Amino acid sequence: MEKWQDNRAWLLILPVFVIVAFSAVVPLITVVNYSVQDIFGPGQRLFVGTEWFREVLGDPRLHAALWRQFGFSALVLVLEIPLGVLIALAMPKKGWGVSLSLVLLALPLLIPWNVIGTIWIIFTRPDIGLMGAALNAMGLAFDHTARPLDAWITLMLMEVWHWTPLVALLAYAGLRAIPEPYYQAAKIDGASAWAVFRYIQLPKMRGVLTIAVLLRFMDSFLIYAEPFVLTGGGPGDSTTFLSIYLVKIAVGQFDLGPAAAFSLIYFLIVLLFSWLFYQALQNVGTGANR
Amino acid sequence: MARITLREVAHSYQVYPGGETDFALKRIHQVWEDGGAYALLGPSGCGKTTLLNVISGLLSPSRGRVFYDERDVTVQSPEQRNIAQVFQFPVLYDTMTVYGNLAFPLKNRGLDGAVIRRRVEEVAEILDLTPQLQSKAAGLSADAKQKISLGRGLVRSDVAAILFDEPLTVIDPHLKWQLRRKLKEVHEQLKLTLIYVTHDQVEALTFADQVMVMYQGELVQVGTPQELFENPRHRFVGYFIGSPGMNFLPCRVQGDAAQVDGVGIPLDPEIAGRAAAARGALELGIRPMFLEVHQAPAEGRIAVRVKTVEDQGSFKIVTVKLAGYSLKARLPEGRPVPEAEAYVRFPLDRTRIFCDGRLLS
């Protein structure tokens, strides 16, 4: 085929450039801009270099929030991925049960995030909440507004309830895509249920599980609305995650410079870990790095 | 190794089958001798795979019994029957090496490590997989993958039979030939019962000692390639085997001749007698190879019009018009090709009469 050279072709991709510029590049550059200046008001600004970065990196409250954040994301992955896969394995493969279980699973995903927080506040209230009151009636003191451990338990329950269905749906789609002869061959080879899972189902779910891990890591690492509504970051700072702390600095104290510097670091951490997860999941078990 | 017997087997995928048409397998009553190479040949949807799955135990038939030697295995699993099956698309355990794949069925049966190693190495040798033993199975070519699937069957020294479900579909044409030869070699070396499902007649005829032709859930004929070619017992066999397939002309029989739209074609008196007694729609059938085409009229020759001539290299296919019907004839290279007019002769010993699709003999 003959190759055509025509610079007017640039016009065709111009809309994409404009959209990406206004939706991603300009805001990002603005953040970079804020992160190296001290802004007192319109027209009053001072270049400060790396001062905000040094301030933010030395902030002990931020360190605490970062570790809390890693702990939260790790718990989310450790709980939701295996649980989601188990649910997917247990789901019916045909008949009316399929539609029913899909609808039931999808329900939590359809609820707005701040409403989820509200639902769980009511559910766990020690005086009237179904769970909170029941636990207290059994003699187990439970109050997520006063006790950090209770706040974490509530938060994890809410998070698992809310997002495990996503993992389950992805895993289920991956399982359904395995052609029948794989199971037939395994039967003929005399494979146990565990061997079928380990050598057929798990490797065949690699793609969907990679997506599940990445989505759950990014979402949990950036989590804001649910814990903000449920605990507001408390009691004390015990559930103050990075984005909650970030909003406190940016909106609460109006420290745009440190907030911008912090945002950039935050962004890089998410990017770095997503890349690490992606590489690890693509290569595990393929012998590519041997 | 075992002789496989199917007694009055029928299978329907419906829970409450109604009439004949609900059955994917209608009535299969057949023996597969120990050590034989069989091909199951038929068009898509004729029930070949269903039959194979009934033999292997992936399916339990709605009716009838399955025997391996004298043992009734009707309700046993493929593992209990100790069968191996190779599927249309290579089935591999992607995360394992070739060695791991071949060793898998033995490990599942809890065999000793040294025994496993010896068997795997033997089988790898037979299948020319020794150089790849330590590489990951996922990265290999389709034919190597298919050999691994076969190898997982061969490693079990006591395997009852190996079943193939169109195993060469995804293989490149030039490798198909090699792999088919490999299969034949394996068969001769190990004397295993092989059952090979295919819709490709060349594959079936070159691979098998006995070809079983399936049509609409029935085994319409079982025989050597030659028998199928010369004496198709069913209209479908005549049409499906041979290239081009058999010619069929609807006819009536009067005296010692078949009448096709007023044209008389002489028949063997014995066949004519039986045809006259038969009830049902009669058809005359002849292979293109046996239909003689001449340039000059003579006794017993019938005048026809030549429609087209196709040159196929070593022979020509002549299409002629007899009464309202088209007939194909295969002309060896070097024979003069008639142009507009020709005369065909139906040799008595090659002309067959079918009644409702079945051969009168």
Q: Residue A166: which of A207, A99, A215 has the closest Cα?
A: A215
Residue A175 identity: L
What does DSSP assign to residue B349?
G
Q: Residue B56: which of B164, B192, B181, B178 has the closest Cα?
A: B164
**Which of B76, B92, B95 is the best substitution to test chain A (most A C-beta atoms within 10 A)?**
B95
Pairwise CB contact (< 8 Å): A189 & B105: yes
Residue A7 identity: N
Chain B residue closest to A201 (CA)? B93
Residue A157 identity: L
Cis peptide before B17 (omega within 30 of 0): no
- How many Å lie between the alpha carbon of A95 and the closest alpha carbon of chain B? 15
Per-residue pLDDT for A290 more than 60?
no
- Residue-wise over B104-127: b if at least 16 C-beta within 10 A, else e? bbbeeeebeeeebeebbeebbebb
Domain count, chain B: 2
Chain A residue closest to B152 (CA)? A189
pLDDT band at A167 (very low <50, low <70, confident <90, very high): very high
**Which of A178, A183, A188 is the best substitution to test chain B (most B C-beta atoms within 10 A)?**
A188
Query: Could you tell me the domains of chain A?
Result: 60-283 (1.10.3720.10)
Distance CA B34, CA B32 (A): 7
Question: To the nearest whole number, what is the mean pLDDT of chain B?
Answer: 86
Q: pLDDT higher for A91 or B170? A: A91
B222 and B285 share one domain:
no
Q: How many helices (H) and strands (E) does chain A have?
A: 15, 2
- What is the separation of C-alpha B83 from the centre of its chain, rounded to a whole number of angstroms? 21
Q: Does A95 touch chain B (CB under 8 A)?
A: no
Pairing mode, strands B315-322 and B352-355: unpaired
C-alpha distances in Å from residue A197, one per residue of A135, A164, A186, B2, B320: 37, 20, 10, 32, 62
C-alpha distances in Å from residue B287, one per residue of B269, B292, B320: 20, 10, 14
Residue A281 structure tokens: 């999941």
What pLDDT does A288 receive? 47
B160 and B280 share one domain:
no
With contacts defined as CB-CB under 8 Å, which chain B residues touch A289? Answer: none
Where do we find the tokens 């269905």?
A165
Chain B residue closest to A204 (CA)? B94
Q: Does B77 touch chain A (CB under 8 A)?
A: yes
What pLDDT does B219 receive? 87
Pairwise CB contact (< 8 Å): B108 & A189: yes
CA angle B98, B99, B100 (to 5 degrees): 90
- Residue-wise over B4-24: b if at least 16 C-beta within 10 A, else e? bbbbebbbbeeeebeeeeebb
Where do we find the tokens 């085929």?
A1
pLDDT band at B140 (very low <50, low <70, confident <90, very high): confident
B107 and B224 share one domain:
yes
**pLDDT, tens digit, 9 for 90 and up, residues A178-192:** 998 899 889 888 888
Q: Please report, in angstroms and rounded to a whole number, the separation of the first and last CA atoms in chain B.
A: 36
B227 and B258 share one domain:
no
Distance CA B298, CA A256 (A): 109
- What is the domain-level CATH number for residue B267? 2.40.50.140
**pLDDT, tens digit, 9 for 90 and up, residues B277-287:** 888 888 999 99
Question: To the nearest whole number, what is the mean pLDDT of chain A?
Answer: 86
User: Residue A259 belongs to what H/E stretch?
Assistant: helix A256-283
Question: Which phi and psi (to 5°) does residue B68 adopt?
Answer: -110, 115
- The side-by-side arrangement of strands in the sheet containing B194-198 is B84-86, B162-165, B194-198, B37-41, B210-215, B218-223
B136 and B23 share one domain:
yes
- What is the separation of C-alpha A78 from the centre of its chain, rounded to a whole number of angstroms? 13
Number of residues written out for chain B: 361
CA pseudo-torsion sign B34, B38, B42, B45: positive
Q: Does B91 touch chain A (CB under 8 A)?
A: yes
Long-range Cβ pairs for the range B153-157 (8 Å, 24+): B153/A188, B153/B84, B153/B85, B153/B86, B153/B105, B154/B84, B154/B123, B154/B126, B154/B127, B154/B186, B154/B190, B155/B102, B155/B103, B155/B105, B155/B106, B155/B119, B155/B120, B155/B123, B156/B82, B156/B84, B156/B105, B156/B106, B156/B109, B157/B119
B248 and B233 share one domain:
no
Distance CA A258, CA B344 (A): 99
What pLDDT does B244 receive? 86
Pairwise CB contact (< 8 Å): B108 & A191: yes
The parent domain of residue B189 ranges over 4-239
Other C-beta atoms lying within 10 Å of the C-beta of residue A133: 16
Q: Does A188 touch chain B (CB under 8 A)?
A: yes
Residues contacting A15, CB < 8 A, separation 6+: none
Pairwise CB contact (< 8 Å): B108 & A190: yes
Pairing mode, strands B162-165 and B84-86: parallel
Pairwise CB contact (< 8 Å): B97 & A286: no
With contacts defined as CB-CB under 8 Å, which chain A residues touch B104? Answer: 189, 191, 195, 199
pLDDT band at A289 (very low <50, low <70, confident <90, very high): very low
- What is the domain-level CATH number for residue B193? 3.40.50.300
Chain B residue closest to A183 (CA)? B91
What pLDDT does A124 receive? 85
pLDDT band at A70 (very low <50, low <70, confident <90, very high): very high
B262 and B183 share one domain:
no
pLDDT band at B49 (very low <50, low <70, confident <90, very high): confident
Q: How many helices (H) and strands (E) does chain B have?
A: 10, 22
**Which of B53, B59, B83, B104 is the best substitution to test chain A (most A C-beta atoms within 10 A)?**
B104
Per-residue pLDDT for A256 more than 90?
no
Rg of chain A's alpha carbons, rounded to an integer?
A: 24
pLDDT band at B12 (very low <50, low <70, confident <90, very high): confident
Where do we find the tokens 């068969």?
B187
Residue B329 structure tokens: 């004839």
Distance CA B31, CA B6 (A): 6
B156 and B304 share one domain:
no
Q: Residue B359: which of B261, B238, B277 has the closest Cα?
A: B238
B19 and B81 share one domain:
yes
Pairwise CB contact (< 8 Å): A185 & B91: yes
Long-range Cβ pairs for the range B171-178 (8 Å, 24+): B171/B142, B171/B143, B171/B146, B172/B142, B172/B143, B175/B143, B176/B203, B178/B143
pLDDT band at A285 (very low <50, low <70, confident <90, very high): low
- The residue from B239, B265, B294 where one domain ends is B239
**Which of B13, B52, B87, B145 is the best substitution to test chain A (most A C-beta atoms within 10 A)?**
B87
Per-residue pLDDT for A286 more than 70?
no
Mean pLDDT value of segment A189-204? 90
Per-residue pLDDT for A43 more than 80?
no
pLDDT band at B240 (very low <50, low <70, confident <90, very high): confident
Distance CA B76, CA B82 (A): 10
Distance CA A185, CA B58 (A): 10
What pLDDT does A19 receive? 94
What pLDDT does A287 receive? 54
Nearest to B94 among A179, A188, A203 (CB): A203
**pLDDT, tens digit, 9 for 90 and up, residues B302-337:** 888 888 888 888 888 899 988 888 899 988 877 778
Q: Does A283 touch chain B (CB under 8 A)?
A: no
Residue B353 structure tokens: 């009469």
B335 and B299 share one domain:
yes
Mean pLDDT value of segment A98-127? 88
Residues contacting B7, CB < 8 A, separation 6+: B29, B64, B65, B66, B67
What pLDDT does A2 receive? 66
Residue A28 structure tokens: 């990002």
Mean pLDDT value of segment A169-176? 93
β-pair partners for B266:
B257
Residues contacting A266, CB < 8 A, separation 6+: A242, A243, A246
- The residue from B220, B239, B258 where one domain ends is B239
Per-residue pLDDT for A201 more than 90?
yes
**pLDDT, tens digit, 9 for 90 and up, residues B69-107:** 888 888 888 888 888 888 888 888 988 889 999 999 888
Distance CA A27, CA A29 (A): 5
Q: Is A77 left (phi over 0), alpha (psi -120 to 50) or beta?
A: alpha
Question: Which phi and psi (to 5°) does residue B104 adopt?
Answer: -50, -50
Nearest to A188 among B79, B136, B138 (CB): B79
B182 and B267 share one domain:
no
What pLDDT does B47 receive? 86
B258 and B230 share one domain:
no
Do B353 and B300 contact (CB within 8 A), yes or no?
no
Chain B residue closest to A184 (CA)? B58
ipTM score of complex: 0.75
pLDDT band at A197 (very low <50, low <70, confident <90, very high): very high
CA angle A211, A212, A215 (to 5 degrees): 80
Chain A residue closest to B109 (CA)? A190
Pairwise CB contact (< 8 Å): A200 & B93: yes
Pairwise CB contact (< 8 Å): B79 & A185: no
- The residue from B239, B256, B276 where one domain ends is B239
